[in-house]
């Protein structure tokens, strides 16, 4: 019980309201935040999204089946391969297509490269929120290498449009696998550099430790999956739980917050855990890349006997993919017509958004960009 | 849980020392870049457009999806690309040419301000006339300049009459022959 | 005006002019020929070195190796229109801010001859100016009637109050060693070789030097302690509403604060202006007074620039510190260490006295 000081009575201040957005340096993309501030401390926040709504799901219904993959790139351009993969898996389930082993390996290669590139982008966003300039340039330089690989394999750097129902568009270019292994070696070196420069920096740790703690129970209740959920101790990974595209053939350990040594009393699931988990995921991805690159079988890369004009039979299917942000679900309904009847996505970022109001309570205004950057909700996939 | 004064002090000093070391470590990490050579000194950014150092289309991989090019002599005017294009950026108008077995493609416009370079049009192209080049320099001041025209141009009424006459003539000759 | 430096009297052309005219003139001369070129030089070096650290190219278009980039930037900002009509409040506070800052040009120690004001209190005058500057910056933030400026203003106040105490204690350390706070006294107490500089005389003085530099960052809000001017959460804080010419004024003011602090740090801790290897004495004996003054000035500026570059280096690789952590840091780390340094320095001085 604190006794109220008489001065406090006369200096009584109301809460301030500040609305930021739709465009603001503090925000990860076009969205709106209505903040209630007590001094610099955020008391409550309400968010509003939908500024990047492009009617993507409706647009699918007006496309021929062949153009569907090209559209799914735009679900989330940070990791466009995941949207393609989700759609392809669902359609393949409807049409009962078996993807050849080589096609699956190439899909794994591209998924893990996409995960690395998305996580590198994540490091950049976090560093930018804290004005750590140098790490941004180092990370972007290394992401260029990954994007170059994408261009070599698929012809595009961001919106790949490479997967096809039943496999991949064309066989991978000669020399791609060797360059993937090169990049794996590179990241072994670079990750240490990132750690020296940024991860173990005192100022960085001071700002992120204990910030925005999300408990495992709340993460599960809100449906927060992916690195954010695993950082909170909610160890769920689609790649392990419901293996797709041959992920069960690989030997890898999914990092989770449980394994990190921490001081006593420190909480699990803060912003620092979320950041660290991404770094550890990069090394997991490097492991996977190595296995996939070394074990890639030769042979067919596309479903044999799948004519280009073939019609997707009527039916529906639901596929799950582990993206760089979490569980991406995709529900495809087909009535046997030339274009899909309905394609619906369950983007992981919607759950991350719903975690914002409870995470921002009690943090300082200055930590808001850092919190949002470490939580990393993808506006593009949430608004779609 | 109250620690002794001494242990608190030691923890405090350790924290300060750790902070100093981490700041110093961060500073040191950047130094090799200042004096480094090879990969470390290679710059992330470069002057653009710079004729010497910047990437040219030849540096790009063979699969690179740059601007579209349509070989109008081989194009059959089947409109497959127009139908499949997810961005609706291709516009084709075609009519029967003088020789009835061929098609006169009067308009084949690709609007690169809409194009998403997905490459589906190239995939569906039957006669393999449409292909991606590796060109990527396409900045312009207005959207109109972004439209690349591969068509042969509109047919004037006189031309149409002439063609009709030619066709009739061919038909008559065929009729005479048969 | 007896404390006015002999430098003004030595000019000779304007003997008949009143002293205040001379003082004002010399302020302008120092500002134009020393402060502004230093600002340009530091901004160029900052961008070029940062570019090297970050594996970038940096400015390379204006002039050879982009050397004229600061000039071009200045000209560009000068011809920009103000975003909104000048509000009188903002104009008033910007001018207060500027005047408070540049009044300290008079006390800037720039060599044995370029000492306009050399009193027993002169080492404290820049602090006064830093506090007034903080007040001006705070009110400048408030006058923008926007949330970002408001938060920026509050943060400026918090940081300045937190940083001023350890800085003053650190200043006392060097004063204890020198026996006074007159610039000439502080300079004379230090020898010409680096080992005789106050900062390296004993560990306590080095601690005081470190505390002084870091608390300067806190007081003036220089990166990485620049939460009042943070662009991610408050769109640039105090400077969020400034544009074009007003922004130039503001940026130059911030630079000048940094420059002032570094000059003082060099003067009181890093051997002031005395040339290495006894060069000062040699030149004075030989009677090359003008050459001596010029070399002293350049030597002092060189050391200042090196110190500033060190700070910039640290700022570029470290993330921005949160404002409450900055104030915590100033009160719980800088202040105790400053006091420790003061006690240690006093004991060392007393030891020498009793021997």
**pLDDT tens figures, C39-54:** 888 889 888 888 888 8
Contact B103, B155 (CB under 8 A): no
Residues of A in contact with C151 (CB under 8 A): 40, 365
Chain B CB within 8 Å of residue C95 CB? no
Q: Which domains, and CATH codes, for chain A?
A: 6-48 (no CATH), 88-308+349-383 (1.10.645.10)
Residue in B16, B26, B40 nearest the CB of C318? B26
B44 interfacial to chain C (CB closer than 8 Å): yes
Range with lowest mean pLDDT among A221-230, A335-344, B5-14, C194-203: C194-203
Query: In terms of pLDDT, which residue wins out, A187 or C29?
Result: A187
Contacts of A66 in chain B (CB under 8 A): 84, 120, 123-124
pTM confidence score: 0.86
Strand, helix or coil for residue C68: coil
Percent of residues, chain C, with pLDDT higher than 70: 92
Q: Which residues of A333-370 are buried (b: 16+ CB within 10 A; e: fewer)?
A: bbeeeebbeebebbbbbbbbbebbeebbeebbbbbbbb
pLDDT value for C268:
86
Q: Which of B26, B38, B60 to mutate: most A Cβ within 10 Å?
A: B26
* Distance of alpha carbon C336 from alpha carbon C169, whole angstroms: 10
Return the minimum-mean-pLDDT range out of A63-77, A153-167, C278-292.
C278-292
**Which of the two residues, A43 and B52, has the higher pLDDT score?**
A43
Phi, psi for residue B110 in degrees, rounded to 5? -115, 120
Sign for the CA dihedral angle at C208, C209, C213, C216 comes to positive
Residue C1 banded pLDDT, cuts 50, 70, 90: very low
Report the distance separating Cα C137 and Cα A244, nearest Å: 59
Distance CA B10, CA C327 (A): 22
Q: By CA distance, what is C48's nearest residue in B?
A: B34
| Residue A144 burial by Cβ neighbours in a 10 Å radius (0-12, 13-18, 19+) | middle
Helices C147-178 + C335-354 axis angle, to 10? 10
Residue with tokens 């791609």: A176
Asked if C64 and C139 count as a contact pair (C-beta separation under 8 A), the reply is no
Cβ of B9 under 8 Å from any chain C Cβ?
A: no
pLDDT of residue C2: 43
Q: What pLDDT is recorded for position A263?
A: 55
Is C322–A25 a contact, with Cβ atoms under 8 angstroms apart? no
Distance of CA C316 to the CA centre of its chain: 19
pLDDT of residue C179: 82
Which residue bears the tokens 């002599």? B73
**Residue A18 contacts C where some CB pair is shorter than 8 Å:** yes
Q: Structure tokens of B84?
A: 């499949």
Report the b/e string of A20-45 with b at 16+ CB within 10 A. bbbebebbbbbbbbebbbeebbbebb
Across chain C, which distance is largest between two alpha carbons, in Å?
68
**Do the chains contact at C227 and A201, CB–CB below 8 Å?**
no
CB contact under 8 A, A131 and C230: yes
Closest Cα of chain A to B170: distance in Å? Answer: 37
**What burial letters (b/e) apply to C165-195, b meaning 16+ CB within 10 Å?**
bbbebbbbbbbbbbebbbbbbbbebbebeee
Query: CA-to-CA distance for A322 and A235, rounded, in angstroms?
Result: 13
Locus of tokens 């030339």: A338
pLDDT at C6 exceeding the cut of 60: no
Of C57, C317, C333, the CB nearest to B30: C317
Among residues A103, A284, A109, the alpha carbon closest in space to that of A179 is found at A109
**B26 interaction partners in chain A (CB closer than 8 Å):** 196-198, 201
Q: How far is the C-alpha of A203 from the C-alpha of B18, rounded, in Å? A: 11
Q: Are C320 and A131 a contacting pair at CB < 8 A?
A: yes
Partners of A27 in the β-ladder: none
What is the rounded distance in angstroms from the CA atom of residue A3 to the CA atom of residue A24? 40
CA distance A315 to A331: 11
Q: Do B63 and A154 touch (CB under 8 A)?
A: yes
Inform me whether the pLDDT recorded for C11 exceeds 60.
no
pLDDT given at position A8? 61
- Burial class of residue C81 in the structure, from the number of CB atoms within 10 Å of its CB (0-12 exposed, 13-18 middle, 19+ buried): exposed
Query: E-assigned strands of A93-142?
Result: none
Residue A242, min C-alpha distance to chain C (Å) = 39
* C53, C223, C328, best to mutate vs chain B, most B CBs in 10 Å: C53
Tokens of C197: 């500089």
Strand A327-334 versus strand A342-346 pairing type: antiparallel
Partners of residue B132 in chain A, C-beta under 8 Å = 155
Is the CB of residue C320 less than 8 Å away from at least one CB of chain B?
Answer: no
Residue A1 reports pLDDT greater than 50: no
Contacts of C316 in chain A (CB under 8 A): 133-134
Least confident window among B154-163, C149-158, C299-308 = B154-163
Residue A311 forms contact with C (CB below 8 Å): no
The whole-angstrom separation of Cα A252 and Cα A20 is 42
Check pLDDT > 70 for residue B5.
yes
B23 touches chain C (CB under 8 A): yes
- Answer yes or no: are the C-beta atoms of A268 and A216 closer than 8 Å: yes
Nearest residue, CB atoms, C233 vs list A138, A203, A365: A365
**What's the per-residue H, E or C state across B108-132?**
EEEECCCCCCCCHHHHHCCCCCEEE
* Cβ neighbours of B65 in A, within 8 Å: 155-156
Whole-angstrom Cα distance, residue A368 to residue C232?
9
Mean pLDDT computed over A355-360: 89
| Contact residues for A289 (Cβ-Cβ < 8 A; gap 6+) | A109, A112, A113, A116, A180, A181, A183, A184
CA distance B73 to A331: 43
Pairwise CB contact (< 8 Å): A26 & C233:
yes
Backbone angles phi, psi at A168, to 5 degrees: -130, 170
pLDDT in tens, A194-235: 888 888 888 888 888 888 888 888 888 888 888 888 888 888
Place of tokens 């991989």: B61
Lowest mean per-residue pLDDT among A67-71, C114-118, C303-307: C114-118
Are the C-beta atoms of residues B11 and A264 closer than 8 Å to each other?
no
Residue with tokens 């799901």: A57
pLDDT higher than threshold 80 for residue B64: yes
Helix (H) or strand (E) holding A19: strand A16-20
pLDDT tens-digit map of A237-274: 888 888 888 888 888 888 877 645 555 555 578 888 88
In angstroms, rounded to a whole number, what is the distance separating the alpha carbons of residues B86 and B70? 18
Which residues in chain C (190-249) have CB-CB distances under 8 A to chain B?
none
Confidence grade of residue A122 (pLDDT, cut at 50, 70, 90): very high
Task: Check if A58 contacts C (Cβ < 8 Å).
Answer: no
Q: What is the pLDDT of residues A101-121, one digit of tens each?
A: 888 888 999 999 999 999 999
pLDDT at C322 over 70: yes
When mean pLDDT is compared across A312-316, A319-323, B66-70, C233-237, the lowest value belongs to: C233-237
Contacts of B34 in chain C (CB under 8 A): 49, 52-53
Q: Which two tokens stand for residue A347?
A: 């983007």
Q: Please answer yes or no on whether A70 and B116 come within 8 Å at the CB atom.
A: yes
Cα(A317)–Cα(A331) distance, integer angstroms: 6
- Alpha carbons A200 and A130: distance in angstroms, whole number: 14
Task: Tell the CATH topology of B57-171.
Answer: Alpha-Beta Plaits (3.30.70)
Q: Establish if B27 touches chain C: CB-CB under 8 angstroms.
A: yes
* Chain B interface includes A141 (CB < 8 A): yes
């Amino acid at each position: 019980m604190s006794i109220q000081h008489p001065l406090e009575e006369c200096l009584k201040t109301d809460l301030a309201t500040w609305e930021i957005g739709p465009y603001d340096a503090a925000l990860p993309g076009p969205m709106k935040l209505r903040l209630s501030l007590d001094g610099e401390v955020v008391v409550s926040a309400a968010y509003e999204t939908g500024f990047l709504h492009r009617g993507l799901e409706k647009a699918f219904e007006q496309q021929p089946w062949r153009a569907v993959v090209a559209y799914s790139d735009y679900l989330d351009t940070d990791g466009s391969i995941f949207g393609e993969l989700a759609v392809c898996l669902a359609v393949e389930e409807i049409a009962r297509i078996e993807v050849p082993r080589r096609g699956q390996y190439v899909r794994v290669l591209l998924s893990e490269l996409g995960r690395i590139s998305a996580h590198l982008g994540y490091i950049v966003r976090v560093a930018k929120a804290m004005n750590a300039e140098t790490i941004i340039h180092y990370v972007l330089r290394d992401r260029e290498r990954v994007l170059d690989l994408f261009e070599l394999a698929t012809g595009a750097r961001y919106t790949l449009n490479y997967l096809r129902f039943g496999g991949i568009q064309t066989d991978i270019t000669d020399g791609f696998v060797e360059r993937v292994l090169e990049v794996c070696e590179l990241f072994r070196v670079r990750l240490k550099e990132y750690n020296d420069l940024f991860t173990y920096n005192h100022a960085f740790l001071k700002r992120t430790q204990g910030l925005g703690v999300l408990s495992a129970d709340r993460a599960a209740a809100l449906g927060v999956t992916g690195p954010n959920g695993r950082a909170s101790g909610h160890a769920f990974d689609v790649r392990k739980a419901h293996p797709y595209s041959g992920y069960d053939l690989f030997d890898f350990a999914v990092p989770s917050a449980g394994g990190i040594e921490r001081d006593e009393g420190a909480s699990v699931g803060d912003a620092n855990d979320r950041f660290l988990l991404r770094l550890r995921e990069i090394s997991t991805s490097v492991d996977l890349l190595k296995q996939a690159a070394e074990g890639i079988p030769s042979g067919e890369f596309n479903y044999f006997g799948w004519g280009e004009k073939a019609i997707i039979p009527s039916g529906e299917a639901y596929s799950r993919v582990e993206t760089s942000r979490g569980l991406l679900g995709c529900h495809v309904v087909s009535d046997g017509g030339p274009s899909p009847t309905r394609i619906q996505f369950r983007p992981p970022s919607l759950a991350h958004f719903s975690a914002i109001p409870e995470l921002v309570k009690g943090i300082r205004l200055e930590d808001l960009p850092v919190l949002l950057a470490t939580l990393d909700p993808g506006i593009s996939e949430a608004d779609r | 849980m109250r620690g002794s004064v001494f242990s608190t002090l030691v923890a405090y000093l350790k924290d300060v020392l750790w902070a100093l070391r981490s700041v110093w470590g961060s500073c040191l990490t950047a130094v090799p870049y200042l004096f480094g050579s090879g990969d470390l000194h290679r710059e992330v950014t470069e002057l653009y457009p710079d004729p010497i150092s910047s990437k040219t289309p030849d540096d790009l991989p063979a699969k690179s999806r740059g601007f579209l090019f349509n070989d109008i002599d081989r194009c059959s005017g089947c409109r497959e690309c127009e139908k499949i294009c997810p961005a609706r950026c291709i516009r084709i108008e075609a009519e029967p040419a003088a020789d009835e077995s061929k098609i006169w493609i009067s308009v084949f416009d690709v609007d690169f301000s809409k194009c998403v370079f997905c490459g589906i049009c190239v995939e569906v192209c039957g006669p393999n006339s449409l292909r991606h080049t590796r060109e990527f320099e396409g900045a312009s001041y207005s959207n109109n300049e972004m439209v690349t025209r591969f068509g042969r141009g509109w047919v004037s009424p006189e031309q149409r009459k002439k063609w009709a006459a030619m066709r009739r003539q061919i038909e008559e000759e065929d009729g005479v022959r048969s | 005006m007896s404390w006015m430096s002999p430098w003004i009297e030595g000019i000779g052309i304007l003997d008949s002019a009143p002293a205040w005219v001379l003082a004002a003139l010399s302020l302008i001369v120092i500002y134009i020929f020393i402060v502004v070129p230093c600002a340009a030089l530091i901004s160029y070096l900052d961008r070029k070195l940062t570019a090297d650290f970050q594996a970038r190219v940096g400015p390379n278009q204006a002039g050879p190796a982009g050397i004229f980039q600061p000039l071009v930037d200045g000209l560009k900002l000068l011809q920009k229109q103000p975003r909104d009509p000048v509000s009188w409040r903002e104009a008033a506070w910007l001018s207060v801010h500027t005047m408070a800052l540049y009044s300290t040009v008079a006390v800037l120690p720039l060599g044995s001859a370029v000492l306009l004001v050399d009193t027993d209190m002169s080492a404290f005058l820049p602090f006064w100016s830093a506090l007034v500057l903080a007040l001006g910056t705070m009110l400048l933030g408030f006058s923008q009637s926007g949330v970002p400026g408001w938060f920026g203003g509050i943060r400026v106040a918090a940081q300045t109050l937190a940083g001023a105490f350890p800085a003053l204690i650190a200043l006392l350390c060097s004063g204890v060693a020198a026996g006074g706070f007159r610039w000439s006294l502080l300079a004379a107490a230090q020898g010409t070789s680096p080992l005789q500089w106050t900062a390296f005389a004993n560990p306590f003085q080095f601690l005081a030097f470190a505390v002084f530099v870091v608390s300067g960052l806190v007081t003036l809000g220089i990166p990485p302690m620049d939460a009042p001017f943070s662009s991610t959460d408050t769109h640039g804080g105090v400077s969020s509403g400034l544009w074009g010419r007003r922004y130039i004024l503001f940026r130059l003011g911030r630079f000048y604060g940094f420059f002032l602090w570094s000059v003082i740090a060099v003067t009181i801790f890093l051997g002031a202006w005395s040339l290495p290897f006894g060069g000062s004495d040699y030149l004075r004996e030989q009677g090359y007074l003008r050459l001596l003054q010029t070399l002293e000035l350049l030597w002092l500026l060189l050391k200042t620039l090196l110190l500033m570059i060190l700070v910039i280096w640290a700022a570029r690789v470290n993330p921005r510190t949160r404002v409450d952590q900055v104030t915590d840091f100033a009160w719980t780390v800088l202040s105790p260490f400053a006091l420790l340094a003061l006690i240690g320095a006093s004991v060392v001085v007393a030891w020498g006295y009793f021997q």
